[in-house]
Structure 1
Amino acid sequence: MATRQLNDPAQIMEMLPEQDRAWFLREYREAAHIAADDPKRFDQLQEMLRTWHLRALARNGDGYEESREQARTGVGDFTSLDEIIARRRAT
């Protein structure tokens, strides 16, 4: 079995739920156009693809929708962004 590449748009599309594919394609086309016009910005295209790969992994993970709803409502077992920032500053 082939390993998934972080920057392969076809694999990212395959991993994404249907409702996210148009959003991904818009961002991909924009980033690809920018990189084509200015090769110095190719790294931004690669970063965008890595971000979408991680987003696709998260969306396919167990409990994603439940966790998202808990974060939205503030109900459930989670760590707030303020807590995370405070911990980082303390170290």
Structure 2
Amino acid sequence: MRTTPTTGERILARLPEREHAQFLHEYRTAAEAAAHEIWRYKELQALLHRWSLVVIAVNQPGYYEALDEAKAGEGERYDFKEAIAARTRRP
């Protein structure tokens, strides 16, 4: 079973180098905001959760190639409704 990294340190360790600068910028901004206004701690937690999902995505084989193809309008295409229907049919 794969665990999802939920701390800044674990996320950074599992992110490819090309994602580090963006993650660190967003993390530092959110952490500083949370340090000054405690209610922003939930925003920091949400940011860590989003980045934990990014870790899973970017570590999938072919992720960046598929992303480049999508940006260029190339590669396989899926109808959104069909993709959702297929996802809900999975056991």
1-side partners of 2:3 and 2:65: how far apart?
Answer: 26
Query: Are 1:12 and 2:4 an aligned pair?
Result: no
CA distance in 1, matches of 2:38, 2:12: 24
Per-residue displacement from partner, 1:20-65 (whole Å, max 9, x unpaired)? 1121111111100101111111110001111111112111111102
Q: Between Structure 1 and Structure 2, how many residues are aligned?
A: 80
Work out the CA distance in 1 between the residues paired with 2:72 and 2:4.
34
Decide which moves more: 52-61 or 70-79: 70-79
Between the two proteins, what is the percent identity of the paired residues?
35
The within-5 A match list for 1:18-57 is: 18-57=17-56
Is 2:4–2:56's contact at 8 Å kept on the other side of the alignment?
no
**Consecutive aligned runs of 4 or more in structure 1 exceeding 2 Å deviation:** 3-7
SS in 2 for 1:43: helix
- Scaled by the length of structure 1, the TM-score of the pair is 0.77
Counterparts of 2:41 and 2:67 in 1: how far apart (Å)? 32
Q: Tell me by how many angstroms 1:6 deviates.
A: 4.2
Paired AA for residue 32 in structure 2: H
The alpha carbon displacement at 1:5 in A equals 4.8
**Structure 2 unmatched runs, 5+:** 82-91
Give unpaired runs (5+ residues) of structure 1.
none
